Amino acid sequence: MSGAAIRRRPIVAGNWKMNFGPSDAHAFIIRILDDLERIAGVDRVICPPAISIAAAHALTGASGVALGAQNMYDAERGAFTGEISPLMLRGLCEYVILGHSERRALFGETDELVNRKALSALAHDLKPIVCVGERLEDRDANLTERVISTQVRGSLAGLPSERLNDLVVAYEPVWAIGTGRAATTQDARDVIAIIRALLGEMYGDEATAGVRVQYGGSVTAANARELAAEPEIDGALVGGASLTVDFVDIVRAFAEAKSLG
């Protein structure tokens, strides 16, 4: 079975980054929750900062809107000051973003660490959203394929094949994050094809046909429809626009495009 033959449920996740403490999170979720709940056919995920997850969960718990953490450590407990464990997230979050480019660039996260986290997330029934993406200098030097290959092979090594349907990969070109310069659908399609081919080499096409691959990088209400119309883009990881009600429009764009496709 080829990857293109399977129908994957779209997934749109909002990465709030270091914005919205508990009371702001509460207020913002009140503004968008009813609208998000009404949109069918798409997984809707909100990723607050760790300190706001409990406040978010108090509102989203009984809704169809899921929560994701923005990061976690791989160990269950212990002397890891400032870290959050998968045991702490389980029951509150369904997803966890791992290896975001900001974590890689600003906090020194390596593929090896991201891989340990991905394995730990799956072992604790959390669905990892693993981010990969090239920097502008990589793209300009024609190194995109090599960089993506290193990240995919390193970050996604050794995952249990029976859990691959719980894996989400976010293709996030670093030059598109927070810059207002989204990748073209052609760019996104080309790199997502590389990601799918790599996953196929690692685990087989059949086992990875259900892996969802999102695009992330300056997704807005204005460009969401065009991105969503691309069959190989299974959803979006949204930063800045997830802090506004535009997030609802982005989710709707993916729900509508994918229900037609």
Q: Which residue is nearest to ligand PEP (CB)?
A: 239
CB contact at 8 A, 242 and 217: no
- Binding to ligand PEP by residue 133, rule CB under 6 A? no
Cβ burial of 14 (10 Å; 0-12, 13-18, 19+) is buried
DSSP class of residue 99?
A: S
State the nearest-atom distance from the C-beta of 13 to ligand PEP, in Å. Answer: 9
Using the contact rule CB under 6 A, the part of the chain among 39-47, 132-140, 190-198, 212-220 near ligand PEP is: 212-220
Give me the residues paired with residue 47 across strands. 15
CB contact at 8 A, 20 and 49: yes
CB contact at 8 A, 214 and 129: yes
- Binding to ligand PEP by residue 216, rule CB under 6 A? yes
The dihedral through the CA atoms of 167, 50, 29, 125 has a sign that is positive
Cα–Cα–Cα angle for 24, 43, 77, rounded to 5 degrees? 65
- Binding to ligand PEP by residue 195, rule CB under 6 A? no
Using the contact rule CB under 6 A, the part of the chain among 35-43, 60-68, 190-198, 234-242 near ligand PEP is: 234-242
Catalytic residue status for 26: no
Q: Toward ligand PEP, which CB reaches closer, 102 or 166?
A: 102
Using the contact rule CB under 6 A, the part of the chain among 85-93, 141-149, 155-163, 239-247 near ligand PEP is: 239-247
Residue 98: name the closest of 6, 5, 172 by CA: 172
Q: Among 100, 109, 134, 232, which one carries the catalytic annotation?
A: 100
State the nearest-atom distance from the C-beta of 177 to ligand PEP, in Å. Answer: 4
State the nearest-atom distance from the C-beta of 68 to ligand PEP, in Å. Answer: 12
Site map 86..125 versus ligand PEP, x via CB under 6 A: ----------------------------------------
E strand or H helix at 46, and its extent?
strand 43-47
Instruction: Classify 125 in phi/psi space as left (phi over 0), alpha (psi -120 to 50) or beta.
Output: left
Q: Toward ligand PEP, which CB reaches closer, 42 or 209?
A: 42
Q: Toward ligand PEP, which CB reaches closer, 11 or 177?
A: 177
SS3 category, 251: helix
Match 């994918």 to its residue by tokens: 258
Catalytic residues: 100, 172
Q: Which residues bind ligand PEP (CB under 6 A)?
A: 15, 172, 177-178, 216-219, 237-241
